[in-house]
């Protein structure tokens, strides 16, 4: 879990530093002009804390509990998803877990209290009574029916007993009221079986797992059942905020780890490390994960760093509908014969290579899908690409510009290559360029169908 230790004044920095030094993945945030020797500065306390909170970052505030409570209060709507929030007294004498019981706040509070040589103020009844967080099983186990856990725990707290089927030392060593003839059951199994309000199911993650999935371009109906299942039965999701937003409606107890720009290799290593610890990790890409996306980044890191602890990880790539397929489907069958995809981004390959490929593909008369046609800082490539193409294709060649497929603002236009202008595209547009055989034919609603015939008579 990423942890932000947040301080408002210099007096809190020493205590904060002790905490940050003791915890992996912790960063010290200090108020600008009021603190020195911190890792990152901020100017707006409320905005900063709310932003971190909504990204799933655990928050440790060296400040009054009330300040933290009021700051995050407007965001509280789902206790399964809320990250840990802990208030700490400026002199380190009190450690008060406030929120995030289901994301491990009590364990984090215990860890911090140990560092500060104090006792955490743990108030969660279930946690005290049973000394085991049924809701937060250790690495290697996944609670499959968290929605049933509330009633289940309430019944236990009201005095019911429970029987355990399957083997789980962490449950047997707990203070759960175990009895053979109990109505309530806990099942520990390798299968993803159904639970219920009288039966909690913990799936054993026998091999450690990393699934690299593609959500499709956006809308839910374009996401495969396999991808939904993998998301459901996992413990951690990693990805860009935009992609995590696409799958957020499916989230129950999963911890999220948000990418910042261009941190791909670092995140791939994080995913592998989490999987090696026994977590069930999902790396989320949009479209297909193997097309200009994270699957290749994971394998790059795997090969380059070649860590022995990663060798047992069960890596699975789950395909998704790529932008070019969704775009083609909007207008007919423009990729009906041989085609290729070219990314116009020159961040990872030089423009000369891109230009050579455009010419070669045009010369070979492939239909072409252009990914990454434009970005805020990259605006000239598309115009250049058009001029290169016009050396081989007529300006009447049909092209398809598809923006925000499956997302709000979806828009598809069919144009002539000669009329392509950079205003037609942005970083969420995929462009299909017809081959010399690609045709557009009228459709009954006044628009056109675009297709490339399967027969190719030179
Ligand atoms: N893995 C993705 C591609 C990621 S590269 C896939 O298979 O679709 C990012 C580029 O993909 C964008 O610049 C754009 O060209 C295209 N793209 C991704 N999502 C899109 C969408 N919803 N609508 C249109 N184009 C999209």
Q: Specify the CATH number of the domain 3-123.
A: 3.40.50.11220
Per-residue pLDDT of the chain (458 residues; tens, 9 = 90+): 789 999 999 999 999 999 999 998 899 999 999 999 999 999 999 999 999 999 889 999 999 999 999 999 999 987 777 899 999 999 999 999 999 887 889 989 999 999 999 999 988 776 666 756 688 788 788 888 888 988 998 898 888 999 999 988 888 777 788 899 999 999 999 887 899 999 999 988 766 899 999 999 998 899 999 999 999 889 999 999 889 999 999 998 899 998 876 688 888 999 999 999 889 999 999 999 999 999 999 999 999 998 888 988 999 999 999 999 999 999 999 999 999 999 999 888 999 999 999 999 999 999 999 999 998 888 899 999 999 999 999 999 999 999 999 999 999 999 999 999 999 999 999 999 999 999 999 999 999 999 999 987 76
Question: Is 56's C-beta closer than 6 angstroms to any atom of ligand 1?
Answer: no
**Homologous superfamily assigned to 324-451:** Tetrapyrrole methylase, C-terminal domain (3.30.950.10)
Question: What is the DSSP secondary structure assignment for residue 344, as one 8-state letter?
Answer: -
List, in order, residues 6 or more apart from 126 with CB less than 8 Å away.
Answer: 133, 134, 135, 153, 156, 157
407 lines ligand 1 (CB under 6 A): yes
* Entry field: residues in the chain: 458
CA–centroid distance, residue 391 to ligand 1 (Å): 27
Domain boundaries 209-321, CATH class: alpha beta
Q: Enter the DSSP assignment of 158.
A: T
DSSP string of 14-67? HHHHHHHHHSTTEEEEEETTT--S-SEEES-HHHHHHHHHHTT-EEEESS-HHH
Eight-class DSSP state of 212: E
Q: Does ligand 1 have an atom closer than 6 angstroms to the CB of 429?
A: yes
Which residue among 212, 216, 371 is best mutated to probe the pocket of ligand 1, counting the most ligand atoms within 8 A of its Cβ?
Answer: 371
The torsion of the CA quartet 414, 417, 423, 425, rounded to 10 degrees, works out to: 60
Chain centroid to Cα 305, Å, comes to: 23
440 within 8 A of 398, measured Cβ to Cβ: yes
Q: What are the structural domain ranges in the chain?
A: 3-123, 141-204, 209-321, 324-451
Q: Return the SS3 of 307.
A: coil
Query: Does the CB atom of residue 286 touch ligand 1 within 6 A?
Result: yes
State whether the beta carbon of 291 lies less than 6 angstroms from ligand 1.
Answer: yes
Cα-to-centroid distance, 342 and ligand 1 (Å): 12
């Amino acid at each position: 879990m990423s942890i932000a230790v947040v301080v408002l004044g210099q007096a809190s920095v020493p205590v904060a530093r002790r905490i940050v030094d003791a915890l992996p993945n912790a960063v010290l945030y200090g108020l600008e002009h009021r603190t020195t020797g911190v890792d990152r500065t901020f100017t707006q306390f409320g905005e900063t804390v709310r932003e971190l909170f909504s990204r799933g970052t655990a928050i440790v505030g060296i400040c009054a509990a009330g300040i933290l409570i009021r700051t995050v209060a407007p965001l509280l709507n789902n206790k399964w998803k809320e990250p840990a929030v802990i208030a700490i007294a400026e002199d380190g004498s009190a450690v008060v877990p406030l929120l995030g019981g289901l994301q491990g706040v009590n364990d984090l509070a215990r860890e911090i209290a140990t560092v500060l040589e104090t006792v955490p103020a743990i108030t969660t009844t279930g946690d005290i009574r049973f000394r085991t967080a049924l809701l937060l099983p250790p690495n290697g186990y996944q609670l499959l029916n968290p929605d049933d856990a509330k009633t289940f725990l309430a019944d236990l707290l009201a005095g019911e007993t429970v029987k355990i089927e399957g083997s789980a030392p962490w449950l047997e060593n707990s203070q759960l009221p175990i009895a053979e003839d109990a109505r309530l059951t806990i099942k520990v199994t390798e299968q993803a079986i159904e639970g219920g309000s009288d039966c909690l199911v913990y799936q054993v993650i026998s091999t450690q797992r990393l699934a690299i999935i593609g959500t499709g371009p956006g809308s839910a109906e374009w996401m495969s059942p396999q991808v939904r299942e993998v998301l459901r039965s996992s413990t951690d999701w990693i990805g860009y905020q935009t992609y995590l937003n696409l799958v957020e409606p499916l989230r129950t107890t999963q911890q999220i780890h948000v990418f910042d720009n261009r941190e791909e290799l670092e995140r791939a290593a994080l995913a592998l490390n989490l999987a090696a610890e026994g977590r069930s990790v999902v790396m989320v890409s949009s479209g297909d994960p193997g097309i200009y996306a994270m699957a290749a980044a994971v394998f790059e890191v795997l090969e380059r760093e070649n860590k022995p602890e990663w060798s047992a990880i069960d890596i699975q790539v789950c395909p998704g509908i790529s932008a070019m397929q969704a775009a083609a489907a909007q207008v007919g069958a423009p990729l009906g014969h041989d085609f290729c995809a070219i990314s116009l981004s020159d961040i990872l390959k030089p423009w000369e290579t891109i230009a050579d490929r455009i010419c070669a593909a045009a010369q070979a008369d492939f239909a072409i899908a252009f990914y990454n046609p434009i970005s805020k800082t990259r605006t000239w490539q598309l115009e250049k690409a058009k001029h290169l193409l016009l050396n081989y294709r007529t300006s009447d060649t049909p092209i398809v510009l598809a923006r925000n497929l499956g997302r709000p603002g979806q828009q598809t236009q069919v144009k002539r290559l000669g009329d392509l202008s950079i205003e037609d595209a942005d970083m969420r547009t995929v462009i299909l360029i017809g081959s010399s055989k690609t045709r557009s034919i009228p459709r009954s609603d006044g628009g056109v169908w675009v297709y490339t015939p399967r027969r190719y008579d030179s």
